[in-house]
Amino acid sequence: MQVPLAALSFLEKGNRDDLAFKESVNTIYEMTAKKKSVKVRSLDEVIAPYAAIPLSLIGYAFPTGSNVLTKSSAYVTKILIGICVFVFVLGSFVPIVPAMSLVPIKVSQNMEWHRIITYAFLHGGIAHLLGNMWFLWVFGKVVEDNIGWKNYLMLFLISAVFSAALFIPTVSDKTIPCVGASGAISGVIATYLILCPKVKIKFTVFWRLGTYIKSIYAPAWGYILAWIALNIILGIMQSGHKTVGVAYWGHIGGFIAGIAYSSLYKSFKQVPYAP
């Protein structure tokens, strides 16, 4: 480009044709230079998306949003969160956990079928409640916006049932109560994977408690597949133990329900992938 540009200096300044030609060449040169210019990314920018996923699995990164703008107000997601908070507060005054928690032996022998739904609105502590409600908000509002509130509510309930269905036969001690919305939320996360695989999830990364580092975007499919793989591994390791801290097989059951429900929905509705 240097020789043609140098030759432009010999064009007559008063000649309109020469000036027009010079402007055209300048425009072409600027476009070419802009096209060839590549922003140099730092090593931190290159490895950050890959670091966010493993960091999130060990508690040093937390999903806080995505690059998707939702159109709806996510009323059902807000209502579900409100119900869970209300039930948690109510449980501080009224002993509702024994009557609503998922106790396998009471479902199979006493036919107390309401438990396969009601347990999903109970939580064992404030940290359990806040963690589940945050994940429900981050993933739920996007899913509700994609499939509508009716399908979203049905997805939540069906995932809770499937979560209970896989928890009951896999736990050794059938008297252990199970509480929490994580199984139902697993179905919501699975639907997020099916409908929005290309979406970037925003993570807030912490190196140690109270020390903020930065926000990182990582692909949704990578995070969700890593998350369910971890649940499967921990579920296998947990099999045969009498005590259960986290119902990993319940998470897997809800995830399977979400995959099935969202795949059928996408097939019938012919829903395109989210950008």
Residue type, 172: S
Are 89 and 169 in the same domain? Answer: yes
Are 23 and 91 in the same domain? Answer: no
pLDDT tens digits for 25-65?
677 766 666 665 555 455 455 666 667 788 787 777 889 99
**Would you place residue 173 in the very low, low, confident or very high pLDDT band (cuts 50, 70, 90)?**
confident
pLDDT tens digits for 242-262?
556 688 999 999 999 999 999
- Which phi and psi angles does 34 have, rounded to 5°? -65, -40
Are 186 and 225 in the same domain? Answer: yes
Of 3, 247, 253, which is closest to residue 101 (Cα–Cα)? 247
Are 180 and 76 in the same domain? Answer: yes
Residue 275, in any domain of the structure: no
Are 49 and 119 in the same domain? Answer: yes
Q: Could you give the maximum distance between any two Cα atoms of the chain, in Å?
A: 99
Residue 274, in any domain of the structure: no
Residue type, 102: L
pLDDT of 275 above 50:
no
Q: Give the pair of three-digit tokens for residue 183.
A: 């199984």
User: How far is the CA of 142 from the CAs of 123, 245, 265, in angstroms?
Assistant: 24, 29, 15
Q: Give the pair of three-digit tokens for residue 193.
A: 């994977």
Of 193, 155, 183, which is closest to residue 252 (Cα–Cα)? 183
Are 32 and 61 in the same domain? Answer: no
Number of domains in the chain: 2
The pLDDT value given to residue 45: 58
pLDDT tens digits for 188-242?
999 999 999 889 998 887 765 556 567 788 889 999 999 999 999 988 887 766 5
pLDDT tens digits for 119-145?
999 999 999 999 999 999 999 999 999
Q: Do 158 and 180 form a contact (C-beta atoms < 8 A)?
A: no
Rounded CA separation 26/23 (Å): 5
Residue 109, in any domain of the structure: yes
* Distant-in-sequence, close-in-space partners of 223: CB < 8 Å, separation ≥ 6: 52, 53, 56, 63, 201
Are 260 and 193 in the same domain? Answer: yes
The pLDDT value given to residue 119: 97
Are 27 and 53 in the same domain? Answer: no
Rounded CA separation 275/77 (Å): 22
- Global confidence as pTM: 0.79
Domain coverage including residue 21: 2-36
The CATH number linked to 141 is 1.20.1540.10
User: How far is the CA of 54 from the CAs of 60, 76, 168, 226, in angstroms?
Assistant: 9, 31, 30, 8
Rounded CA separation 104/167 (Å): 8
Are 56 and 133 in the same domain? Answer: yes
Residue in the structure block whose two tokens are 């963690």: 131
Q: Give the pair of three-digit tokens for residue 166.
A: 């896989």
Residue 259, in any domain of the structure: yes
For the sheet containing 61-66, what is the strand order?
61-66, 200-208, 211-219
Q: Do 199 and 266 form a contact (C-beta atoms < 8 A)?
A: no
Of 179, 182, 174, 183, which is closest to residue 91 (Cα–Cα)? 179
Are 31 and 56 in the same domain? Answer: no
Are 30 and 59 in the same domain? Answer: no
Are 195 and 122 in the same domain? Answer: yes
